[in-house]
Amino acid sequence: MKSKSSAAKTVTPLVRTTLTESAFEHLISYVVNGTWKAGDRIPPERELCQQLGIARTSLREALKAMELIGMLDSRVGDGTFVCPRSEFLSRPLLWAFTGTDHAELQDIMEARLILERDLAGLAAERASVAELAAIADTITKMKICLDRGESVLEVDMAFHLTIADAAHNGVLRNAVQLLRNLMRQWLYLKLAIPTVPHRVVSQHQAIYDAIASHNPDAARKAMEGHLEETAHLVFDIVKRDRRSPKSST
Amino acid sequence: MKSKSSAAKTVTPLVRTTLTESAFEHLISYVVNGTWKAGDRIPPERELCQQLGIARTSLREALKAMELIGMLDSRVGDGTFVCPRSEFLSRPLLWAFTGTDHAELQDIMEARLILERDLAGLAAERASVAELAAIADTITKMKICLDRGESVLEVDMAFHLTIADAAHNGVLRNAVQLLRNLMRQWLYLKLAIPTVPHRVVSQHQAIYDAIASHNPDAARKAMEGHLEETAHLVFDIVKRDRRSPKSST
DNA sequence: AATGGCTTGATGGTCTGACCAATTTGCCCT
DNA sequence: AGGGCAAATTGGTCAGACCATCAAGCCATT
């Protein structure tokens, strides 16, 4: 009972000044802004904590968190390195729980559909010649992978990200990349189904054609169709695979 | 069983036997398996590290990492609690957006438009009676704030978030919340323009009407119009208010 | 009896400083 | 020149201490 209609002024918007937390955000911004690029070696802990003016303990909590979500990689006696963006959040541990929650997956897939659909539309409006070529290139590469019997997961990812690039909205691009990373495992399983990769290629081709002809509406439709089919396949996999979770890697 | 003696065991499977990492896995499994349910208070650090047989430092690194990815929530003097699943990945998604630091305001606003437009459409399809009431409530509250001459920033935020709630997609909801937080200062300035709040009220009303009548198309259109007007106003403010890109912390 | 303030204990946050373990580097001895 | 040992570097771990905050209980005033 009791409706808290006594709308208080909502003071104190909880600004927890945790040293570790601010260090965490600080470090993340380094990685994301490109101050520290993928493959870079970041300063040693003992040096970093002095720069930040905090104890090594506090710094390490932040570093460890970043390592566990796949942004950093530490090697004793060697140093700590920045991981490529594509590996963010791809730590197997995260799949453990993401995989057990069906609802979450559905939300992720829906979010992805919404974002990528609009991104495809924007790309159709804004893509430059070079960007179109980049998109086409991923399709070509996918065909090659297919012929060689290699995995097309990465090329598939590249296709969608180059479209996001062509949409010229960094915010949305990053969001899409994150969502795809979250789904990575299922995408992998989906692409492992025999006939699927070939269908994907032709769908990618259709999406590309729509974007290349600068037809936003067609691009949105094509992308939507593609992602909806993916969603159905993934749900089938999840349903079927709902028993023995493989401990891959 | 620790043989740190001289060379011998040629095995050494190189499994990153990092204490922190195994603690992390251990703790995650507790949360995932339901040993610790959402809302539960987990044992104090000083107790946990004894159970696990590791130092508090190592445990804290794991604990902190889990907190930073939204699985746990620590409160000084109170304890550490398990977060609901819906919050697990909210922070990572957050980084994806904040990550684009140089992402211009324009990108953010565009991203917001895209997300909220679709969210409005989904809300029109999915909103329950209670959720509709919640939306309507924010409009009423905004009118009250207006009469009292109070700031409507918070109610404005509430309006959009209740719509996001009604769309039933936690992932997108979190994204919208973040984007709005990023724009907060500009939104504040926008709402400070004399005639604006009244216009906002009527626009909110229109959006609500569309959602309440379960008309996704109308809802999308209404939301789009509302946000585009906001975007224009904000850009005017920015243009007028042009100065240096503060390098605040 | 009810209220408000004070004390105390529990708990997370932070720091210091030390040592261990793995890796790299480079010098020394053969 | 080559092999191997030792120091330096760097992340991993530990112990113990202190602070800030919150909850609960005690006590005095009303």
Query: How far A149 CA sits from the closest chain B CA (Å)?
Result: 30
- Is the CB of A46 less than 7 A from some atom of nucleic acid strand D? yes
User: What is each CA distance from B179 to B11, B51, B116, B186, B196, in whole angstroms?
Assistant: 51, 41, 10, 12, 21
Percent of chain B with pLDDT over 90: 41
Chain A, nearest residue to B30 by Cα: A97
Residue among A96, A98, A169 minimizing CB distance to B110: A169
Q: How confident is the model at residue A14 (pLDDT cuts 50, 70, 90)?
A: very low
Rounded Cα–Cα distance for residues A244 and A232 (Å) = 21
Separation in Å: C7 C1' and A14 CA: 28
B24-34: average pLDDT: 82
Is the pLDDT at A33 greater than 80? The verdict is: no
pLDDT at A29: 80
pLDDT at B154: 83
Coil/strand/helix, residue A73: strand
pLDDT digits (tens, 9 = 90+) for B38-69: 888 999 999 999 888 889 999 998 998 888 88
pLDDT winner (highest mean) among A8-12, B7-11, B125-129: B125-129
Chain B within 8 Å of A114 (Cβ-Cβ)? yes
DSSP string, A194-236: TTHHHHHHHHHHHHHHHHHTT-HHHHHHHHHHHHHHHHHHHHH
B219-236: average pLDDT: 94
Rounded Cα–Cα distance for residues B89 and B87 (Å) = 6
Q: Which nucleotide is nearest to A74 (CA to C1')?
A: D11
Q: How confident is the model at residue B249 (pLDDT cuts 50, 70, 90)?
A: very low
pLDDT at A6: 35
Is the pLDDT at A8 greater than 70? The verdict is: no
Coil/strand/helix, residue B101: coil
Cβ atoms of residues B201 and B123 within 8 Å: no
| Strand D bases within 7 angstroms of protein beta carbons | 8-17, 20-23
pLDDT at A51: 87
Q: Which nucleotide is nearest to B63 (CA to C1')?
A: C12
Window 139-198 of B: residues touching A by CB (8 A cutoff) are 141, 154, 169-172, 175, 179
Query: How far B59 CA sits from the closest chain A CA (Å)?
Result: 10
Coil/strand/helix, residue B194: coil
Q: Do A107 and B20 touch (CB under 8 A)?
A: no
Q: How confident is the model at residue A150 (pLDDT cuts 50, 70, 90)?
A: confident
Q: Which nucleotide is nearest to B73 (CA to C1')?
A: C12
A126-138: average pLDDT: 96
User: Between B102 and B50, where is the model more confident?
Assistant: B50
Q: What is the CA radius of gyration of chain B?
A: 24
pLDDT at B242: 62
H or E stretch covering A88: none
Query: How far A199 CA sits from the closest chain B CA (Å)?
Result: 28
Separation in Å: D10 C1' and B5 CA: 22
Q: What global pTM score does this model have?
A: 0.74
Q: Do B64 and A65 touch (CB under 8 A)?
A: yes
Q: Do B60 and A61 touch (CB under 8 A)?
A: yes
On average, the pLDDT of chain B sits at: 82
Coil/strand/helix, residue A58: helix
Q: Name which of A41-50, B59-68, B98-107, B203-212 the model is least confident about.
A: B98-107
Is the pLDDT at B204 greater than 60? The verdict is: yes
Q: Which residue has the closest alpha carbon to D19 C1'?
A: B76
Q: Strand D contacts (CB < 7 A) among B residues 9-38?
A: 17-20
B98-121: average pLDDT: 81
On average, the pLDDT of chain A sits at: 83
Chain A within 8 Å of B101 (Cβ-Cβ)? yes
Q: How confident is the model at residue B97 (pLDDT cuts 50, 70, 90)?
A: low
Q: How confident is the model at residue B10 (pLDDT cuts 50, 70, 90)?
A: very low
Q: How confident is the model at residue B20 (pLDDT cuts 50, 70, 90)?
A: confident
Cβ atoms of residues B145 and B200 within 8 Å: no
Q: Strand D contacts (CB < 7 A) among A residues 72-91?
A: 74-80
